Structure 1
Amino acid sequence: MGQAKATLQGVAQVQNLNPYVSNRAATIAWQGGILVNGSGANTIVSYNRGDWTGVSGVAFGNSGATAITMKAASQNGAVIKICDGSASGTAIGYVTIPATGSNNTYKTVTANINKVTGTKKVFFVASGDVNVDSWQFSTNGTVPSISPSVKPSVAPAELKEGWYYIKNILSEKYLQVTNNDGKAGANVEISTGTGVAGQRWYLKNTENGYFTLTSGLGNFMIDVANGVDEDGANIQIYNAYSGNAQQFILQPTGTSNIYTIGTKASNGTKVLDVYNHGKEDGTNVCQWTKYGAPNQQFIFEAISATPSTAPSVTPSVVPSVKPSTAPSVAPSKIPSGTTGLPAGVTCEYSIVSDWGSGFQGKIVLSNKSSHTFNGWTLSFDYNNTITSLWGAELASQTGTKVVVKNPSWD
């Protein structure tokens, strides 16, 4: 007797699959990450975010299918993307599974799809936790007027340039930089409103409805990691350069002042998404195909407004009025022991922006000498309260006397 050799290819499919009858979700040729529970007519497939299954030899015929019906359960709601050829193939359609309150409470949902004909490999990709019992295609749907795989024709919204808090609708928590850490590659997550610089974003309009979001921590913008058009791509801050990975578009939801935030990296088909419908502080934010659930919806709260979850500090990123005098250049500690700046060190002051009720100023210390300074402080007079600093730390403020020092990371 000869030796049998195992292969990953398996045996040939006996016959094509009929999509127009009810098929168990556990009818699988390929899969990634899923669990199959039960047996026989009681089997279900459990998906987590990004999990997928595929079936081969699905015979749609010449007339083709234009709708699909799925029996599924999801505690928080999910979307199942149906793809042609592979789990990352062209989207045929999307089935939105509403929140059923439990992963064991099933509902039957029918959705229109783009017409598909011939014999295909069909893949089902989940956006979140969902259990699927069965699926069935049909010919009684209507072809969607807008394919989810192309840029939506809905006119984008446009907001006034300025500083905002950005609050997620589902969690009622704010986009922030993890650990309030101003560095390239720092993660973006949600958290309770505190008013820290890492929760403040400057919206600047660019062109064709797109805009950038600069962090209150410095010259960093919200950024789709590596600029990829992929579900699950991480959202971070990165050095500001205003490329496609750092441009976004506001998509109206039908509810006043509530938007999805589309990414230019995906041509607007993917949006900022709070991972797996999370509500806890520290839940990650990523890019995901738009399906309009509350974890993908946001409110922009102008910086002059008080957030609905009150910050622990005044929600203002700049002094409320101009200083009566420009900062003096005399540092409070001078390595050389003189009463002025050390030789080769210069100090320049300028106003970056001024909107009447407040302004943003900039002080630049430049060391053009041959001497290395380990730590520095700078004192100046200012007749109001400083509410935010970038690139420095407030050492003290007594009356009009202000002392700032080098940040701990410098």
Structure 2
Amino acid sequence: MNAPFRSRDLANAVAPLSVVHVVRQYRPNRGGLEDVVANLAREQLRAGWYVRVVTLDRLFRKLDERLPEREIIGGVDVRRIPFRGSTRYPLAPAVFRHLDGADVVHVHAVDFFFDALALAKPFHRLPLVATTHGGFFHTGDFSALKKLWFDGPTRLTSNLYDRIVACSPSDAHAFSAVVSGVEVIENGADLDKFAGASSAAPVKRMASLGRFSKNKHPERLIAMTKALAARDPDWRLDLVGAASDWTVEQLREEIARAGVEQNVRLHVGLDDRGVADVLRAASLFVSASDYEGFGVALIEAMSAGLKPVVHPNEAFQTLAARHPSVALVDFSDASAAASAVVSAHAALVEGAPGAKPSREELAVYSWPQVAAKYADAYRAAIAGRKGAPSRAIATPEGVS
């Protein structure tokens, strides 16, 4: 059995703190943003911190279902609050009722929470740390309006934070245009979750991980599989994720339209064990995403032993420069993408050097190390807020 990834000890990085994470979507929803918050919270709990998550009470993919107001998930005290307005900018002023006892408030992504908590800083007087998570530039929709908002309101509110943390060099470049002192703490990945969970021998099977959103371009993966199947009908693609901009019905229609029902299989809402079972039958990871805040799914796929073939968005280009096993190809060209997949599979069959990443090179993404870096950011934020009222660390009800 593979040994778990470990690095710097969070418990030795800073004394235990009470931290409130504020994020628009959390468990039971699954996605890159939710995974980042859950994994960071897990490491903080392990270090004896009190961790609370404040999130919205409905999932964007199930707006007709209201979740419990309060729940303990994996030891984390989760508080859910109502919202109104668009899911692009959900208005949820009840967030201010859930900050008591916090030593630091950590806001994830740029949305209503990001703006409101910054503008209310003179009243709550709490140290604020924000992680960018790609801002709101995941797609080119409303690009002119987004730029105006970024240069105006986002510039204002960003400068009210004690620390702005970019989760990628590309985010750092973007946010450095509106606020100074941006630091980069790249997202971690759960390297143990899928460790070694790929096919023992090279097979003609690919997997893609992530919600079925517009920027992920699942339709391009289907088109690429059609091109592959025309060359060799043995090729298979597993699309693993959750409905988003693309519904399950729309994807099934796209698969049928391409005539690859025998080659593409959809897996919706799987837990980690279910995902690992899918990966055990695959040798390659594919992604046609044209925007990623960082690329957590790619790192997790590499930890499973899958060879990545991905679209050259900025985040993936950064990762490819570090990891020779990552192959880049433009997925808007289905034939070229199919050829890249065939070449990647051949490299695995031949046992080419660097065809797969080593565990050692992935250790930098371990969550203990990332959590320790965040502890330093919290400490700096708190130090910069000297004179603010001290707050005791609370213990959540029902948790010993």
TM range (shorter): under 0.3
TM-score by length of 1: 0.23
Larger radius of gyration: 1
TM-score by length of 2: 0.23
Structure with the bigger percentage of strand: 1
Structure with the bigger percentage of helix: 2
Tell me which of the two structures has the higher relative contact order, counting C-alpha pairs closer than 8 angstroms and 6 or more residues apart: 2
